Structure 1
Amino acid sequence: MLFGMAKRARSATGWLRLGALLATSALLLSGCFGDAADPSASPPAETAAPRPVGASAAPVGIAFSPLRGTGAEWSAMQHPSIAVKIDDHELARPQIALNRTDLVFEELVEGGLTRYVAVWHSDVPDEVGPVRSIRPMDPDIISPLGGIVAYSGGQEQFVAMMQAAPVVNIVFDYDDTGLFTRADDRPGPHDVILAASEAVARHPELPPPPVQFAYGSADPLADPTFAATTTSAIAQTFSDERAPSWDWDAGTSTWLRSQEGLADTEASGERVRAVNVVTMRVGIDWSYGEVPRTVMVGSGEAWVSAAGRTAHGTWSKDAPDAPIVLTSDSGDALRLAPGNTWIELVPTTGSVSFAP
């Protein structure tokens, strides 16, 4: 059973001039929507006809992925994003297709463990998982994206909160359309797998997600005004049970992830990696008993790590359906490098450190 939520009329955002060369993507990104202090502002829709690539070639529209900032074919981006609650219990590892995400949010849940809100748009896999239940902060994380959310279930009050958000809900507990299966080679309840590309294909009426962050060049923090420091490693402590870390790998220009001191790999066997790591210090609301609720509406301390550098600043989010805005200590927009991003929602009771 699909829960058809009220669908927000979102215009496709972030598209730049058609026919732009991929080699100039960083310049276009910085000039077209990287300069705006508010990345939620939608760039004007492009109406010019695409220029032909060759004498006999059909016109191809070149745009940019709104959640990655990378070059993409315009027609390939005309579909919704899908946000999925992904398990991070030890028995749920390795997860499926984390390296194909556009965004991943890591959040504290009960028992000091963490779970992910993983978001796919530019590269939607056939299968993702393991899928787990919703939590009270998830509507605030997912609402700015629109599109689809998929999860296994959850407490009735949390499910109701998610259903009230402006997204289409797909719930394992109520699904009778075959979008979810249980994997024979995984222990329950860490075995629920979602047919992600099929879920997206069933909702062609939904628009692409809006741009969420400002993007710059491949080394977006090089400008001295950001006062970025060279960084070889990032350490984050959510609780006594969860302490993810990231090591800069210059060879691949990515951050390589570890959990509790061990290399973190996905089901493909690849090391989990990210082009950008955004670390946010967040408050925790304990009004739901043993279930912590990450406070997403407000502001706090933040760091952006990209291209082996880290810049300090603040994050702010004005409303549940508003995007996160990252601002440097100098007052400029903190830009990301084009590529995938992990957003680490580290409680203020935890810790963060950056090694030179």
Structure 2
Amino acid sequence: MRALAGRAPHRRGARIGALLAASLLLAGCQSAAEPDAAPTEAAARPSADAAASAVSFAPLRGTPAEAAALAHPSLAVKIDNHEEARPQIALNRTDIVFEELVEGGLTRYVAVWHSDVPDEVGPVRSIRPMDPDIASPFGGIIAYSGGQDQFVAMMMATPLVNIVFDFDETGLFTRADERPGPHDVILDSAEAVARNAALAPPPGQFSYGTADPLAAPALAAAPTSRIDLVFSEDRFPAWEWDGGTSAWLRSQEGEPDLEASGERVRAVNVVTLRVGIDWSYGEVPKTVMIGSGEAWVSAGGRTAHGTWAKDAAGSPIVLTADDGSPLRLAPGNTWVELVPNEGSATFTP
């Protein structure tokens, strides 16, 4: 365990800088096909010219980038999604975001930044029991505001550097005067990464293809204009395909979802996983991340069906198409929607 701890944070104002012929609904459980191999790491794409070795591929986006600019750890942060926490800061600069069910039927995010680390992110909230299984494959840093002692202990037991609001004595966290508490905790994300720059960059998590990675007929991907997801009665996000920007645009509870910059929250890829919920912790649901289940990958205005599998806390999620081939993503940012078995997902042509 590595942790950063100490004095109470100070307060200041923060800078607030985005079915196919019939609907496909999540129904019964489907067991995952055994994956043939580990995910392809985008950063491992070779270059024919040794002189071009300074150009690499972002491991969490699959996009070209200067190798030197990637030589730092990723930063995972627990981000609030209460109505009073919106708009969140810099979601469109993330590499990967996981949306998870929490108590009261609400959702929160585990947002991961690596290829584009902003100055500030937030609002930051507390840890939940599934977060160690979500964040561990990335290595690097995890930041959160606190949580039940048992959940904090679970996260502290991972190899990640823990940066915790409750223990911070170095000013990495502040409170935004213009936001209501407790939805006001902001992290100096750039400084958090700079202080831990010697940590290794994250390994690749998903396999990447072309901008239209689901075009192969064997994948049987269906044109998709809209994705409707139901986590609970209170949380039902949606994504609409925008061909003009080649991105999915997000809504929450029927309203456009905007980040603090004023931009609509967007994603190049939307990965929808059907997951079980463990209620061992009372009113706090734990998304079951170790195992397998049904999956959909939506990219390039199409959706392909398959399975997901994850065999250990520190292992990445492996996505496999129904034909047994890897389900590849388009280069760019990704949202992973961890939809409970009791919820639903509808993909509209």
Q: Please, what TM-score do these two structures have when normalized by structure 2?
A: 0.88
Counterpart selection for 1:150 from 143, 146, 150: 143
Distance 1:135 1:193, change over 3 A: same
Q: Percent same amino acid at aligned positions?
A: 72
In 2, are the aligned partners of 1:36 and 1:214 still within 8 Å (CA)?
no
Q: Give yes or no for the alignment of 1:216 onto 2:209.
A: yes
Question: Can you list the C-alpha shifts for 1:3-35, whole angstroms capped at 9, x where unaligned?
Answer: 169xxxxxxxxxxxxxxxxxxxxxxxxxxxxx9
The CA RMSD measured in Å over matched residues stands at 2.0
Cα distance, 1:45 vs structure 2: 10
Distance 1:44 1:351, change over 3 A: closer
Q: Give yes or no for the alignment of 1:3 onto 2:16.
A: no
Counterpart selection for 1:297 from 273, 283, 290: 290
Cα distance, 1:37 vs structure 2: 3.5
Counterpart selection for 2:241 from 228, 248, 251: 248
Counterpart selection for 1:205 from 181, 198, 209: 198
Residue 107 of structure 1 aligns with which residue? 100
Counterpart selection for 1:312 from 305, 309, 312: 305
Counterpart selection for 1:239 from 221, 232, 236: 232
Q: Give yes or no for the alignment of 1:91 onto 2:81.
A: no
In structure 2, list runs of 5 or more residues that go unmatched: 6-34
Residue 74 of structure 2 aligns with which residue? 81
Cα distance, 1:49 vs structure 2: 8.4
Residue 193 of structure 1 aligns with which residue? 186
Residue 160 of structure 1 aligns with which residue? 153
Cα distance, 1:253 vs structure 2: 0.2
Q: Give yes or no for the alignment of 1:39 onto 2:32.
A: no
Residue 322 of structure 1 aligns with which residue? 315
Q: Please, what TM-score do these two structures have when normalized by structure 1?
A: 0.86
In 2, are the aligned partners of 1:86 and 1:115 still within 8 Å (CA)?
yes
In the alignment, the residues of structure 1 paired with residue 228 and residue 133 of structure 2 have an alpha-carbon distance, to the nearest angstrom, of 25
Q: Give yes or no for the alignment of 1:334 onto 2:332.
A: no
Higher relative contact order (CA 8 A, sep 6+): 2
In 1, are the aligned partners of 2:42 and 2:59 still within 8 Å (CA)?
no
Residue 16 of structure 1 aligns with which residue? none
Distance 1:108 1:335, change over 3 A: same
In the alignment, the residues of structure 1 paired with residue 45 and residue 57 of structure 2 have an alpha-carbon distance, to the nearest angstrom, of 13
Question: Can you list the C-alpha shifts for 1:57-77, whole angstroms capped at 9, x where unaligned?
Answer: xxx710000000000000000
Q: Give yes or no for the alignment of 1:274 onto 2:267.
A: yes
In the alignment, the residues of structure 1 paired with residue 84 and residue 299 of structure 2 have an alpha-carbon distance, to the nearest angstrom, of 31
In structure 1, list runs of 5 or more residues that go unmatched: 6-34, 53-59
In the alignment, the residues of structure 2 paired with residue 168 and residue 70 of structure 1 have an alpha-carbon distance, to the nearest angstrom, of 26
Cα distance, 1:259 vs structure 2: 0.2
Residue 55 of structure 2 aligns with which residue? 62
Q: Give yes or no for the alignment of 1:347 onto 2:340.
A: yes
Distance 1:326 1:46, change over 3 A: closer
Distance 1:46 1:355, change over 3 A: closer
Distance 1:286 1:62, change over 3 A: same
Counterpart selection for 1:286 from 253, 263, 279: 279
In the alignment, the residues of structure 2 paired with residue 103 and residue 335 of structure 1 have an alpha-carbon distance, to the nearest angstrom, of 15
Amino acid at match of 2:217: P
Which deviates further from its counterpart, 37-46 or 125-134? Answer: 37-46
Distance 1:96 1:73, change over 3 A: same
